[in-house]
Every structure is written in structure tokens, then in C-alpha cells.
């Protein structure tokens, strides 16, 4: 009946109860113990465990009273953290008596694991701990204490915010009612609630034991919350490295709970994820990758492994980012910014040498891996080949940056059909191919992602000299907006970036319609000089792109002139039309 | 006659070579003494003391020291930010020492990049500076306008993936002329620059303004002229996301018709040049 395929099951007796323990993978490999939360059973890990089992000895067990483990009699007083620690020690004595284990906990599993990693009697038995959505009750008690003692406005707001998110905790403290609800209507409707509110894909989870698990589990709260919050331990220091994974849209726990964590954890790695509470169900690939990386680096003796120093390293560490037009300008700067944040980078450009250079420097900056691909984004078949290759060799892209673009200036009547075709092929079709191919991979995986399209301030600022370019970029802007609406329900964000005048080599490669080669050269030089004097660096656009992904922004004008034009386009579109008539100073 | 001129030139050059060697020796000595916790001010003072002990009395400019992301002039807006601060050196941090002592009337202006421990990014930047040294010499020998050479250096930096950081210097110079300086008993300095040297530079600027050249080599129109004979302190400065690297040394430009003699680096026995040779 278990949804964990090929799991070896055994029963471990301890303190008058029997725990159901499942094992996957090679027992000689490092042991990773997964602990489930409330109201769950070990099956909550059914997506993550097989992914980890390729590299590790994975152990899962049903917490007492849950799943196929038996419940203590009486229930009251049977779920204290001390007893849960006994259970944990009994399990690891059975599955890994000689080697310390790597702990992974979600929700109440994480609350328990904090206890395991901070009490003396488990010292030396825990090698590392990955925590998701479950704070230490001792840390939480002190967190509340600190805010009550010195209630600054910010602290009060944090307290009220978390207090509101904890409504279910109060509810669970009422006698009998929660049990009745779980064994009755709540138990029946729970799977549908999860699907609707938490976007959990339907399947074999939750299991049939849910009403009983949830009813028993109420005692986790009743036995521990009040005593621990009233008298938190003041020496709850972690004796192993900790990786903290925080889902940013968690309905039950706020991010600020972990603000003081560095005090308790000497070796802390922070990760954030734009997802809701049940990440073991909704983001198994990402979790498996982060757990694998963390466990591997701890095993290798490097507890704070990530060399990435970038501002958003917590968010992009280990993610796969593909940037087109990465051989120069904004694309290259963006690849570097992601590399600095610890992402794996695929640098795509039609100039092989430039792409290779970007990939090489990305590694120097902190990208754990990086690759160069030589592709012309306007070439449909080449893009299809690229998408297939990336999926097969590097994985599904987490962040796609459709940045490749070319410039074209001149009168509408001087712009030949060939000119039009060229601009639209690269600027619009390149983006369409990127979104189509890599966007589909993202939706098929169903674990979120982000698409960034580089539009332009010319997308909303008309100009008599930029009809073709502006048209292509306006199309990119609208495509991004439509796609954003379509993908919103699947956790995939879409952002359009409108840089403005940025000092890149687009000026020296731009075409000018209706002039001879010599005049074109002169204009290129002149524009390059003007852009050079303006000197807005592409690095700042790259920063804006990372910020847009982190905040999931829809349209991002970057330079002051781009922002000003955006504002005018809403307040005084007539002004933009007047600007459009000006002759560019070339 | 020609030999007399040559020998006079070579005597003069050996004076410049001596002070450039002295300055690089100072950079290496100070760099070896840098350790975690040393501040930029202390590093600048160490350079000053080291050179004064060895007979330096005047400066083209007082020694600078930049640590960490200040090597790439991150967020520099006003020239005062060039002056040494209380930023402390940490393991792995890049640093740049920049000094311009005057010794026996000869001026040097050098820049020395290094890091405390290993810094792969800066190593890479230093390695990539070699191409700039070659490019500058080649194009000066071709008598290309300085402004165009500046733009070619810019393009090479962009191709390499780096940002041009010498544009942050006063007037955005990649190089400036240096000359002999009369030794005075009292030589005050103004904003870190020796007044004697400033005087020389101002005289050159006036001269050049009349004749259509400039002692400053920059991206602007005033540099739109072929290389002017004399000694140029050339300082291409690369920046790459919070890490910077530069070298600075003297390029001799003459009016000789022989390309080899028309421009050459004053001295090839310098730390960065030796390093490139070793890596090959």
C-alpha cells in the first residue's frame, strides 16, 4: 500500500511503541533521514526520497501515532520532544549505528529535528540538518520573548503577523474538536483543500491514514508548544551545520522567524524558494538538488560549501539559468550576476568565442558549472536542438533570459522587407522560440520557474527613427504580459525588462537603414560615443533582472529615462508622441 | 651628433628606469608585509616610509592603496574617494598599490596589483592585461591617434568581458605624461599631487593646447592626435564585478622613424611582465 516504491520496510520497537521505518538506496552510502510533518506521514517524501536514493541511503519513518507506526497510550504526554528524540535515536541505532546521519525535516519534522540537532545526547550522531518550514520551539520562544520585551513597531508587526498565521495552533489546543473535525468532514475535504490552496498535484498523497494521523498529531502541539514557549532552552545551539530552506509564500510561517538564527547556528546556509508550505510535494527537484549539494559538501568536509557571494545566492544557488545573447552587453552581465549568485549558467550566443568567454568567467565568479552554446536564436531548428540538448544534459531550466537582440534605426520607408524580417526574426521570434521551447519544459516539470524577456524602452516610447526596432520590442512586451497571465497559475513568473540607453555594443552592431556603408559606420561610431557618454553600465541592468526574478515583477524599466518614459506613457502619452517626432542627434 | 643625442637619452632613461625599479621594489616589499587587518591608510604609509628611507623627497602623487571592491572603484563618484580609507584587508581580498615617487629628479608612476592569498578572478584579470600592453605598444608604434587607441583598448576590454575602470581617474585618463622634476628643498603637495609635477603638467597642457596635443591621454577630443614624444605613464585598469587590476609603467615615445625605436616600454624587467613570461 506504500507509495514508496522498492522501499525496504522494518519495524523498530522503542518505549512501548513500534515505528514503521522504510529504507531506500545503498546502505553503505551516507544516510539521510527524512522526517515528515503534520498532518502527514512519511509518504509526504515520496517524490523527494527516490531522487535522493540515487546517491544516498535514504531512511524515512512514520512519527509515533502517524502512518503505520503505533500510537502511545495514553496519547496525552506521549508526544513530548524528549520521547520523539528517543524514537529518533532508536531509528538511527537500527539503520546507521556507526555513522552520523544527515537530517531533513519538514514542518513538525523540522521542529523535532531542531531538538535532535541542539540537545547534548545526540551530539556526534547528526552530521547535518536541512530544515524546511519548522522552527525550533526554543528559538521561537526566545524570538517571541525578545519582541515582547522590546516592542518596536517593526517587532510588533512581526509578532502580529506570525500570530495571525498561527491560528491553527490555537485551534488545535481546543479539546476533542480537532479530532472530530479530522475524523469527519475536514479529513474528507483535506486533499481537495490542499490541491486548491497549496497547489499540490493530485496523486497518491495524502494517504488514507490522514484522519488518524491528524487526530493523533494534535498532541504534538498540545504536549510541546505551551511548555516550550513558556520556558525555552537558552542553550539550543546546533552542533551540526544547518541548511535552512524557506518557502517565501508559506501561509503558516513568516520569514522573519529566522532572523536571529545565525546566533544559534555557527554554520548556516540559507536558501529561499518562491513556493508555498508543502515544498516536498511541489518542488521535489529543487529540494533534492539542494539536499544533495549540502550533504555532499558536508561529507567532503566543507560545511559552508557555497562559494557564491552574490546578493541573491540564497535564491539562485544551484539553479539552472539560460541566457541568450550572453556573449556581450546585458546578456553577459546577466550571466555573470547569476554566476555570482551560485547558479549554473548556460551562455548562448551566435558568437562561439564570446559565449565560451562568458561561460569561462562565470565559473571564476562562482557558478558551480557553466556551458557555452553557439546558437542563432532566430533559427527555429537550432533552438529546438538546443532545448533538447539542455534538457537532456543539464536539466530543466529554472530561469530563462531571452535577451538576444539587434538594433535597427532609420526611416520606415528606408527599412526594407529584409531589414524587417531580420529584426523580427531575432528580437521577436528569438523570444518566441525561447518561451515556447523552454517554457514548455518548465510547465511540463510543474515545479515553477521564471522567464525574463529583454524588451526595451522603445516598446512604449515611439520614435520616428525606430519603427522596426520599437515594433519588435513592443511585441516582446505584450508577449511577456500575455504569457505571464497564462503561466501565473503554474508558479512560473514572466518579466519584461525595458533597459533604456545602456552602454553596450548593440550600438556598434546596429544597422541603419537607408544610408551607405560609410555613413552607417559613422552613425554607429557616433551612437557608441553617445551611449558611452551616457555610460549606464549593463551590470545595473543585470541587477535589475535578478531583482525582477526575485520579486516576480511584470515590467521593469531600468534607466531613469526608461522609467520616466514609462511614467509619461501613462500620465501624458502626448508628451511621448512629441518626443517621438524629434530627430535623433546622429 | 646622433650618438650624442642617443647617449643623452639613454642617461636620462636610466634615471627613469632606476626610480621605476625602486618604486616596484617598494610595491613588492610592502605587498609582502600586508596581512589581514592592515588598513589602506597603513599600506599607504608603509609605501611612503619605505620610499622616504631610500631618498625619495618629492612625489608626482602620494602613494595610494585600494582594497577589496575599491580596486574596481565601485561606487566612486568624487575624486576624494581615491584617497586611502580605513578599509581593512581580509584573506582573499584583491589590492592595488599605486605610487609615483620622484627620485633624483626623475619621476616614476607605477601600479601594482595583488591579493592576500589566492584570488583567481584577479589572477585572470592580470593575465588578460598582457594583451593590453601589447595592443598599446603596437598601436603607438603605428602612430594611431591616442583617442583611437583608447577606444581600441576599450573594445578589447569589452570583448574580454571587463569594464574600463581607468575612466574613473581624473579626466578618465589611460595615461599621462611624466617628466623630470626640479628638486626643491620644499615641495608641498596639493590633493596628494606634488606641486612641482603639477606645474610641469600644467605647462605641458598649455603648450599642448597651443599645438594641438595634450599631456593627458583620454577618450576626449583633446587626445585626437598622434602619440607625442616623451614619457607616458600608461595605466590600463580592468574592473570585473568588484575586483580590479591594473599595471602602470612608463612608455617611451620618440620621434625616431624606426618603429622599434619610435616607442618602447622603459623597462621589461617588472613583476607583471616577469609573471607573464613565467606562465608561458
Segments forming the whole domain that contains residue A170: 8-299
Sorting pLDDT into bands at 50, 70 and 90, what band is A1? very low
**How many angstroms separate the CA atoms of A482 and B165, rounded?**
41
Helix (H) or strand (E) holding A244: strand A242-247
**Within-domain flag for A307:** no
Selected for mutation to probe chain A from B68, B131, B158 (highest A CB count within 10 Å) is B158
Task: Give the pLDDT of residue A305.
Answer: 54
Contact B115, B93 (CB under 8 A): yes
Q: How many CB pairs under 8 A join A and B?
A: 27
| Contacting residues of B for A364, CB less than 8 Å apart | 120-121, 124
Sorting pLDDT into bands at 50, 70 and 90, what band is A304? low
* Backbone phi, psi, residue A206, to 5°: -70, 160
Contact A59, A21 (CB under 8 A): yes
Contact B225, B145 (CB under 8 A): yes
**Within-domain flag for A352:** yes
Last residue of a domain, one of A238, A272, A299: A299
Contact B249, B270 (CB under 8 A): yes
Contact (CB<8Å) B163/A537: yes
How many beta carbons lie within 10 A of that of residue A421, not counting itself? 13
**Within-domain flag for A176:** yes
The answer to whether residues A295 and A317 belong to one domain is no
A352 near B CB under 8 A: no
Describe the crossing of helices A210-230 and A185-198 by its angle, rounded to 10 degrees: 80
The answer to whether residues A180 and A225 belong to one domain is yes
Q: Which residue of chain A has the CA closest to B172?
A: A533
| Contacting residues of B for A328, CB less than 8 Å apart | 158-159
A51 near B CB under 8 A: no
Q: Which residue of chain B has the CA closest to A310?
A: B241
Select which of A61, A469, A531, A536 is catalytic: A469
The answer to whether residues A283 and A326 belong to one domain is no
Contact (CB<8Å) A336/B120: no
Alpha helices (H) along A342-429: 352-365, 380-393, 417-423
**CA dihedral (A458, A460, A461, A464) positive or negative:** positive
**Grid coordinates in use for A274?**
518562491
Closest CB to A332: pick one of B161, B167, B219. B161
Last residue of a domain, one of A267, A299, A331: A299
* Backbone phi, psi, residue A40, to 5°: -135, 175
Residues A557-570 pLDDT 10s:
999 999 999 999 99
Contact B161, B240 (CB under 8 A): yes
In chain A, the percentage of residues whose pLDDT exceeds 90 is 88
**Within-domain flag for A304:** no
Helix (H) or strand (E) holding A400: strand A399-402
The answer to whether residues A223 and A330 belong to one domain is no
**How many angstroms separate the CA atoms of A418 and A404, rounded?**
19
First to last CA, chain B: 42
Strands (E), A405-510: 408-409, 449-454, 492-498
Segments forming the whole domain that contains residue B30: 2-279
Describe the crossing of helices A210-230 and A108-118 by its angle, rounded to 10 degrees: 40
| Averaged pLDDT for residues A298-316 | 80
Contact B195, B189 (CB under 8 A): yes
The answer to whether residues A356 and A334 belong to one domain is yes
Closest CB to A505: pick one of B120, B124, B158. B158
List the strands of the sheet with B237-240, edge to edge. B163-164, B237-240, B243-246
Task: Give the pLDDT of residue A69.
Answer: 95
A530 near B CB under 8 A: no
**How many angstroms separate the CA atoms of B48 and B61, rounded?**
11
Contact (CB<8Å) A336/B161: yes
The answer to whether residues A294 and A420 belong to one domain is no
Contact A477, A494 (CB under 8 A): no
Number of domains composing chain A: 2
- CATH no. for residue A125? 3.40.50.1820
Residues in CB range of A494: below 8 A, 6 or more apart: A450, A451, A452, A453, A480, A481, A483, A484, A487, A554
- CATH no. for residue A370? 3.40.50.720
The answer to whether residues A275 and A342 belong to one domain is no
**Within-domain flag for A2:** no
Task: Give the pLDDT of residue A528.
Answer: 87
* Backbone phi, psi, residue A8, to 5°: -95, 125
The answer to whether residues A47 and A176 belong to one domain is yes
State yes or no: pLDDT of A471 exceeds 90. yes
**Grid coordinates in use for A201?**
498535484
First to last CA, chain A: 75
List the strands of the sheet with A242-247, edge to edge. A8-14, A17-24, A57-61, A31-35, A101-106, A126-132, A242-247, A268-273
**Within-domain flag for A413:** yes
**How many angstroms separate the CA atoms of B169 and B193, rounded?**
14
Residues A412-426 pLDDT 10s:
999 999 999 999 999
Specify the range with the lowest mean pLDDT, choosing from A105-114, A194-203, B158-167, B240-249: A194-203
Q: Which residue of chain A has the CA closest to B154?
A: A532
**Grid coordinates in use for A24?**
531506500
Q: Mind listing the pLDDT tens digit of every residue in chain B (280 residues)? A: 445 556 777 888 999 999 999 999 999 999 999 999 999 999 999 999 999 999 998 999 999 999 999 999 988 888 889 999 999 999 999 999 999 999 999 999 999 999 999 999 999 999 999 999 999 999 999 999 999 999 999 999 999 999 999 989 988 899 999 988 888 878 788 888 888 888 888 888 888 888 888 999 998 889 999 999 999 999 999 999 989 999 999 999 999 889 889 999 999 999 999 999 998 7
Contact (CB<8Å) A357/B240: no
Strands (E), A455-520: 492-498, 511-512
Task: Give the pLDDT of residue A3.
Answer: 67
Task: Give the pLDDT of residue A2.
Answer: 47
Selected for mutation to probe chain B from A360, A539, A542 (highest B CB count within 10 Å) is A539
Contact (CB<8Å) A328/B158: yes
**How many angstroms separate the CA atoms of A112 and A86, rounded?**
11
**Grid coordinates in use for B17?**
628606469
Report helix, strand or coil for B208: helix
Scan for cell 580609507, then name that residue.
B85
**Within-domain flag for A538:** yes
- For residue A223, cis peptide bond before it (omega within 30 degrees of 0): no
Closest CB to B241: pick one of A328, A340, A357. A340
Q: Which residue of chain B has the CA closest to A332?
A: B161
Helix (H) or strand (E) holding A9: strand A8-14
The answer to whether residues A250 and A351 belong to one domain is no
Specify the range with the lowest mean pLDDT, choosing from A118-127, A289-298, A557-566, B195-204: B195-204
Chain A segment 461-500 residues within 8 A of B by beta carbon are: none
Contact (CB<8Å) A532/B163: no
Scan for cell 603648450, then name that residue.
B207
CB burial of A349-388 (b: ≥16 within 10 Å; e: otherwise) equals bbbeebbbbbbebbbbbbbbebbbbbbbbbbbebbeebbe
The answer to whether residues A123 and A40 belong to one domain is yes
Report helix, strand or coil for A18: strand
| Contacting residues of B for A539, CB less than 8 Å apart | 163, 241
**Within-domain flag for A130:** yes
A336 near B CB under 8 A: yes
- CATH no. for residue B65? 3.90.230.10
| Contacting residues of A for B150, CB less than 8 Å apart | none
Which of A312, A376, A305, A382 is closest to A341 using CA atoms?
Answer: A312
Interface residues of B toward A, Cβ cutoff 8 Å, are 120-121, 124, 154, 158-161, 163, 167, 219, 240-241
Our answer to whether residue A221 is catalytic in this structure is: no
The answer to whether residues A282 and A322 belong to one domain is no
DSSP secondary structure, A64-75, as one string: TTSTTSPPPSSS
A106 near B CB under 8 A: no
Residues A432-462 pLDDT 10s:
999 999 999 999 999 999 999 999 999 999 9
A364 near B CB under 8 A: yes
Amino acid at each position: 500500500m506504500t507509495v514508496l516504491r522498492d522501499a525496504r520496510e522494518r519495524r523498530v520497537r522503542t518505549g512501548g511503541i513500534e515505528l514503521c521505518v522504510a529504507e531506500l538506496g545503498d546502505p553503505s552510502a551516507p544516510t539521510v533521514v527524512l522526517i515528515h510533518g503534520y498532518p502527514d506521514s512519511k509518504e509526504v517524501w515520496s517524490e523527494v526520497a527516490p531522487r535522493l536514493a540515487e546517491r544516498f541511503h535514504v531512511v524515512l519513518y512514520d512519527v509515533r501515532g502517524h502512518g503505520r507506526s503505533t500510537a502511545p497510550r495514553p496519547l496525552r504526554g506521549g508526544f513530548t520532544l524528549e520521547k520523539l528524540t528517543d524514537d529518533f535515536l532508536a531509528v538511527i541505532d537500527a539503520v546507521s549505528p556507526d555513522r552520523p546521519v544527515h537530517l531533513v525535516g519538514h514542518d513538525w519534522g523540522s521542529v523535532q529535528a531542531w531538538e535532535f540537532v541542539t540537545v547534548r545526547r545526540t551530539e556526534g550522531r547528526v552530521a547535518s540538518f536541512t530544515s524546511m518550514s519548522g522552527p525550533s520551539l526554543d528559538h521561537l520562544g526566545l524570538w517571541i520573548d525578545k519582541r515582547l520585551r522590546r516592542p518596536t513597531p517593526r517587532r510588533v508587526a512581526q509578532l502580529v503577523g506570525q500570530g495571525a498565521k498561527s491560528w491553527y495552533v490555537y485551534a488545535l489546543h481546543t479539546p476533542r474538536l480537532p479530532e472530530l473535525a479530522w475524523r469527519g468532514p475536514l479529513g474528507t475535504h483535506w486533499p481537495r483543500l490542499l490541491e486548491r490552496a497549496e497547489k499540490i498535484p493530485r496523486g497518491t498523497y495524502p494517504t488514507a491514514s490522514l484522519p488518524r494521523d491528524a487526530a493523533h498529531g494534535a498532541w504534538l502541539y498540545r504536549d510541546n508548544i505551551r511548555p516550550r514557549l513558556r520556558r525555552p532552552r537558552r542553550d539550543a545551539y546546533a552542533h551540526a551545520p544547518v541548511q535552512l530552506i524557506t518557502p517565501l509564500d508559506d501561509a503558516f510561517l513568516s520569514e522573519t522567524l529566522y532572523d536571529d538564527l545565525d546566533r544559534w547556528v555557527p554554520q548556516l546556509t540559507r536558501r529561499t524558494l518562491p513556493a508555498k508550505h508543502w515544498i516536498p510535494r511541489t518542488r521535489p527537484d529543487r529540494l533534492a538538488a539542494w539536499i544533495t549539494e549540502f550533504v555532499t559538501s558536508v561529507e567532503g568536509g566543507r560545511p559552508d560549501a557555497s562559494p557564491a557571494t552574490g546578493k541573491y545566492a540564497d535564491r539562485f544557488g544551484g539553479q539552472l539559468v539560460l541566457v541568450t545573447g550572453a556573449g556581450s552587453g546585458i546578456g553577459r552581465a546577466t550571466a555573470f550576476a547569476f554566476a555570482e549568485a551560485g547558479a549554473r549558467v548556460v551562455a548562448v550566443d551566435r558568437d562561439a568565442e564570446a559565449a565560451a568567454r562568458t561561460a569561462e568567467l562565470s565559473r571564476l565568479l562562482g557558478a558551480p558549472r557553466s556551458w557555452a552554446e553557439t546558437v542563432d536564436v532566430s533559427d527555429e531548428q537550432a533552438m529546438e536542438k538546443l532545448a533538447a540538448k539542455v534538457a537532456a544534459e543539464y536539466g530543466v531550466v529554472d530561469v530563462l533570459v531571452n535577451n538576444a537582440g539587434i538594433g535597427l534605426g532609420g526611416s520606415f520607408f528606408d527599412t526594407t522587407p529584409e531589414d524587417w524580417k531580420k529584426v523580427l526574426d531575432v528580437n521577436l521570434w528569438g523570444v518566441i522560440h525561447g518561451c515556447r521551447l523552454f517554457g514548455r519544459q518548465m510547465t511540463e516539470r510543474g515545479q515553477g520557474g521564471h522567464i525574463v524577456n529583454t524588451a526595451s524602452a522603445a516598446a512604449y516610447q515611439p520614435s520616428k527613427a525606430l519603427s522596426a526596432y520599437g515594433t519588435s520590442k513592443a511585441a516582446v512586451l505584450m508577449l511577456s504580459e500575455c504569457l505571464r497571465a497564462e503561466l501565473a497559475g503554474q508558479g512560473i513568473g514572466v518579466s519584461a525588462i525595458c533597459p533604456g540607453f545602456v552602454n553596450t555594443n548593440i550600438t556598434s552592431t546596429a544597422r541603419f537603414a537607408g544610408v551607405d556603408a560609410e555613413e552607417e559606420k559613422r552613425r554607429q561610431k557616433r551612437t557608441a560615443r553617445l551611449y558611452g557618454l551616457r555610460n549606464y553600465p549593463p551590470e545595473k541592468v543585470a541587477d535589475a533582472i535578478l531583482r525582477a526574478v526575485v520579486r516576480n515583477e511584470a515590467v521593469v524599466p531600468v534607466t531613469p529615462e526608461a522609467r520616466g518614459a514609462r511614467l509619461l506613457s501613462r500620465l501624458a502619452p502626448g508628451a511621448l508622441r512629441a518626443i517621438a517626432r524629434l530627430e535623433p542627434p546622429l | 651628433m646622433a650618438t650624442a643625442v642617443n647617449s643623452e637619452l639613454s642617461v636620462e632613461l636610466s634615471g627613469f628606469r632606476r626610480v621605476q625599479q625602486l618604486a616596484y621594489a617598494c610595491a613588492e616589499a610592502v605587498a609582502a608585509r600586508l596581512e589581514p587587518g592592515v588598513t589602506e591608510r597603513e599600506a599607504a604609509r608603509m609605501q611612503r616610509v619605505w620610499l622616504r628611507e631610500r631618498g625619495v623627497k618629492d612625489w608626482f602623487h602620494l602613494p595610494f592603496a585600494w582594497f577589496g571592491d575599491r580596486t574596481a572603484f565601485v561606487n566612486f563618484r568624487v575624486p576624494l574617494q581615491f584617497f586611502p580609507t580605513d578599509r581593512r584587508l581580509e584573506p582573499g581580498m584583491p589590492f592595488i598599490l599605486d605610487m609615483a615617487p620622484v627620485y633624483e629628479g626623475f619621476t616614476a608612476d607605477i601600479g601594482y596589483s595583488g591579493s592576500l592569498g589566492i584570488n583567481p578572478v584577479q589572477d585572470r584579470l592580470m593575465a588578460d592585461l598582457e594583451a593590453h600592453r601589447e595592443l598599446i605598444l603596437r598601436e603607438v608604434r603605428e602612430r594611431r591617434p591616442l583617442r583611437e587607441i583608447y577606444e581600441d583598448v576599450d573594445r578589447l576590454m569589452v570583448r574580454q568581458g571587463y569594464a574600463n575602470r581607468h575612466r574613473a581617474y581624473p579626466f578618465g585618463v589611460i595615461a599621462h605624461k611624466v617628466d623630470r622634476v626640479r628638486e626643491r628643498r620644499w615641495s608641498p603637495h596639493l590633493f596628494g599631487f606634488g606641486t612641482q609635477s603639477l606645474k610641469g603638467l600644467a605647462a605641458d597642457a598649455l603648450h599642448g593646447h597651443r599645438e594641438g596635443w595634450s599631456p593627458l591621454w583620454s577618450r576626449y577630443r583633446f587626445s585626437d592626435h598622434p602619440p607625442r614624444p616623451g614619457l607616458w605613464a600608461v595605466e590600463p585598469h580592468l574592473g570585473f564585478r568588484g575586483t580590479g587590476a591594473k599595471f602602470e609603467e612608463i612608455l617611451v615615445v620618440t620621434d625616431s622613424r624606426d618603429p622599434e625605436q619610435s616607442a618602447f616600454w622603459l623597462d621589461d624587467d617588472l613583476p607583471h611582465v616577469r609573471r607573464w613570461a613565467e606562465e608561458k
